[in-house]
Amino acid sequence: MYKNNSILAIIPARSGSRGIKNKNLVKINNLSLVAHAINCVKKINFIDHIHVSTDGKKIFNEASKFKCKPLFLRTKKLSGPRISDIKVIEYVLKKLEKILNKKFKIILLIQPTSPLRKSSDLLNCIKLLLSKNADSVWSLSNSDLKYHPLKQLKILKNKLSYYDKKGNKIIARQQLNQLYHRNGICYALRRNTVLKKKSLMGTISIPYIVKRIVPNIDSYKDLEIAKKLMRR
């Protein structure tokens, strides 16, 4: 299945972080979030190249310690908090292919803020991408229905109303369809999805649903939850 499918794993880890200072270098079980991501990817022996995309020297050095020295740093233009993942992936893919004189057919986006990933999650995403002939596979988790859009409220000019007018018809949670959120474990993308469609999703996107608890660290509360889960 994996023959003739060269795979690039990109770990995006910019140095700036508003919620947690130096978030990508925060340690759980004596390993930084970047190190956890690198180690997980390295368990899959047919991934051709791992690139830690960073603008920071500390993260560059951290990746190098785990034999994953980046071949280049991210530009300042691509290092802001509002830069989309697709722009970073496209930049990294084009530059690496030029440096390595090699074309990658599959790209994995591995966010270090999801340290509870397993190598089997990555394998399952790759398998789905190939077997379903999809443009992309996204790892997802079930969203708690109490945060469903039809149960949300808004306040305008100190007056309360439903976020969605249909919300006033919701009596029981059984009336709501299950929704999902991205957990950051893995995005598996085809080369053409990135370069031609310039999208993380493409036309045909397949879900990979993770049933266990996998916090995506964006706050100190998320960090504490991840630490507790990883002590088990």
Residues 26, 122 within the same domain: yes
Is position 162 within any domain? yes
Render pLDDT for 189-225 as a digit per residue (tens, 0 to 9): 999 999 999 999 999 999 999 999 999 999 999 999 9
**Greater confidence, 165 or 50?**
50
Residues 215, 105 within the same domain: yes
Q: What is the CA radius of gyration of the chain?
A: 19
Residues 117, 30 within the same domain: yes
CATH code, domain carrying 134: 3.90.550.10
Residue 42: count of CB within 10 angstroms of its CB: 15
**Greater confidence, 80 or 12?**
12
Is position 224 within any domain? no
Q: What is the pTM of this model?
A: 0.92
Residues 190, 167 within the same domain: no
Number of domains in the chain: 2
pLDDT of 13 higher than 70: yes
Residues 190, 207 within the same domain: yes
Residues 158, 71 within the same domain: no
pLDDT of 171 higher than 80: no
The helix or strand, by DSSP H or E, that contains position 52, with its residue range, turns out to be: strand 49-53
Is position 71 within any domain? yes
Residues 15, 120 within the same domain: yes
Residues 42, 106 within the same domain: yes
Which residues, including other chains, have CB under 8 Å from residue 24's CB and lie 6 or more apart? 13, 14, 15, 17, 32, 33, 34, 54, 59, 112, 113
Under DSSP, the state recorded for 115 is T
Residues 80, 154 within the same domain: no
Render pLDDT for 59-112 as a digit per residue (tens, 0 to 9): 999 999 999 999 999 988 888 777 889 999 999 999 999 999 999 999 999 999
Give the bridge partners for 36, in sequence order: none
How high is the pLDDT of residue 210? 97
Is position 230 within any domain? no
Is position 229 within any domain? no
Residues 88, 154 within the same domain: no
What is the pLDDT averaged over residues 110-132? Answer: 97
Query: Which structural domain range is residue 167 located in?
Result: 144-177
Residues 72, 121 within the same domain: yes
What is the pLDDT averaged over residues 25-40? Answer: 96
Is position 137 within any domain? yes
Q: What is the band of 2 on the pLDDT scale with cuts at 50, 70, 90?
A: low
Q: DSSP 3-state assignment of 205? A: strand
**Greater confidence, 172 or 229?**
229
Whole-number Å distance between alpha carbons of 169 and 77: 47
Is position 225 within any domain? no
Is position 231 within any domain? no
Residues 58, 148 within the same domain: no
